[in-house]
Amino acid sequence: MRIDVVTIFPEYLAPLNVSLVGKAAARGLLDVRIHDLRSWTHDRHNTVDDTPYGGGPGMVMKPEPWGEALDSVLASDPGRRPVVVVPTPSGKPFTQELAVELSAKPWLVFTPARYEGIDRRVVEEYGERLDVREVSIGDYVLAGGEAPVLVMVEAVARLLPGVLGNAASHQDDSFAPGPMAALLEGPVYTKPPEWRGRGIPEVLLSGHHGKVARWRRDEALRRTSLNRPDLIAGADPASYDRKDREM
Ligand SMILES: Nc1ccc2ncsc2c1
């Protein structure tokens, strides 16, 4: 998979060169290219924004630099068409399902914005010939789309074949498709067996896989009903027992 990111803060994307994504890139599983939007400005101040038509607070990112930047990125592989992911608080929710969908695409181009956003005509222009997705990672105020790009790239990259050491690692994730898809992960424990006077739930020491699976399911249900009752509404309780039987 090729991933391009166009941004006015290239250094913000430095974390993509380390850890899981960095290692995947070093192993050739990912081709990550970060581009400075200001490379496609031509004035002395490298201007990328201007005041909004119709008035109002803040500034809007000008269409020209984005147009030149995206044309340049697209021209680097004219035979292929990427999915363009526009991080925006007014986009569709970023979900595990969307991460799975995007992980199957050969080329993603992310366009994180600052200020009040990008001139609408950019999405209109590229939306006529490419698959453009406006995506939000949640309902809170951020200064821009760079942090959301880090979130989305990690969620997508970890699903690529060979990126995670143990293939099973993401099958049991919270939100991963499957029998426990609608539940949050329950509590986890490791050595030492006692820490500051706190032990381990006996069932986890029992060696009885069926009981352990049922305990984990019950704990996941408890945590989900406490923290995310909305997920319980969509859950399929019958599927939990099927998972137990698989153990
Ligand atoms: N403020 C905010 C919140 C969510 C989000 N997702 C992508 S860009 C963005 C910006």
Question: What's the pLDDT score for residue 175?
Answer: 72
Instruction: For domain 171-246, give the fold.
Output: Trp Operon Repressor; Chain A (1.10.1270)
ipTM: 0.98
CA of 93 to the centre of ligand 1 (A): 10
Strand stretches in the chain, DSSP E: 2-7, 31-36, 49-50, 60-61, 83-93, 107-110, 131-136
pTM of the full predicted structure?
0.90
Question: What's the pLDDT score for residue 26?
Answer: 93
Q: Report the candidate in 98, 70, 102, 59 with the shortest Cα–Cα distance to residue 83.
A: 102
* Mean pLDDT, each 10-residue run in order, the chain (247 residues): 98 93 93 97 98 98 98 97 98 98 98 96 98 98 97 97 74 61 91 98 98 98 96 69 45
Nearest CA to ligand 1 atom 10: 89
Q: Report the candidate in 75, 217, 94 with the shortest Cα–Cα distance to residue 149.
A: 94
CA of 53 to the centre of ligand 1 (A): 22
Token pair recorded at residue 214: 């049922």
Nearest CA to ligand 1 atom 3: 89
Question: Residue holding tokens 């698989």?
Answer: 246
CATH architecture of 2-157: 3-Layer(aba) Sandwich (3.40)
Whether 171-246 and 2-157 are alike in CATH topology: the answer is: no
CA distance 45 to 11: 19
CA of 190 to the centre of ligand 1 (A): 35
Among 88, 110, 140, the mutation site with the greatest number of ligand 1 atoms within 8 A of its Cβ is 88
For the annotated catalytic residues, the residue numbers are 89, 116, 158, 173
pLDDT tens digits for range 202-227: 999 999 999 999 999 999 999 999 99
What does the domain layout of the chain look like in residue ranges? Answer: 2-157, 171-246
